[in-house]
Amino acid sequence: MEKDASSGLIDSSEANNLSGQLRSTVGRLYRRFRSERAEGTLGDTALEVLTFLHKNGPHTLTELSDVGQVAPASMSQSVNRLTAAGYAIRTPDPNDRRKVRFSTTPEGAELAIVTRNQRNAWLDTQLQRLSPEDRGIIARACRLFGDIVDSP
């Protein structure tokens, strides 16, 4: 049996229910968080690629596909949207001129920052509505979720 913070122990059927609740809640939070962006901006996938490029620097299409766990053809659509909108540029790879690397333009970096700030502001507002104790519980849960994500 596993321990439950409020009542002691939970059996495996309750643990499975907890898994389902957690997946559902995290999915809903993720969708809500993604919806917190300026109207008329890029789609979610293109914004994710733009944010990744802003945070991590230039990458090839293959590298972006691997990180995003999507087919290169799908990633190609996203980077084409970004370059067409002027948010990203293609440059030759300095080590292999046959490869192309994608990076953000100043406008792309600004959009990534604005989007991140808008999403953080929404989440900060929601967290401030909670008691200090509840925020502490969420902080602990974040550490535990990080452990889960980093596990083999």
CB under 8 Å, gap of 24 or more: what pairs does 143-151 form?
A: none
* Residue 120 and residue 142 in one domain: yes
* Residue 66 and residue 20 in one domain: no
For 37, phi then psi, to 5°, come to: -150, 165
Contact 88, 104 (CB under 8 A): yes
Q: Give the model confidence (pLDDT) of 11-57 as tens digits.
A: 666 657 888 999 999 999 988 888 887 666 688 889 999 999 999 99
**Straight-line distance from the first to the last Cα atom of the chain, in angstroms, rounded to the nearest whole number:** 22
What is this structure's pTM? 0.74
**Which amino acid type is present at position 38?**
A
* Residue 124 and residue 145 in one domain: yes
Q: Give the model confidence (pLDDT) of 65-95 as tens digits.
A: 999 889 999 999 999 999 999 999 999 988 8
Which structural domain, as residue segments, surrounds residue 102? 36-150
* Residue 19 and residue 76 in one domain: no
* Residue 18 and residue 74 in one domain: no
* Residue 23 and residue 57 in one domain: no
* Residue 31 and residue 81 in one domain: no
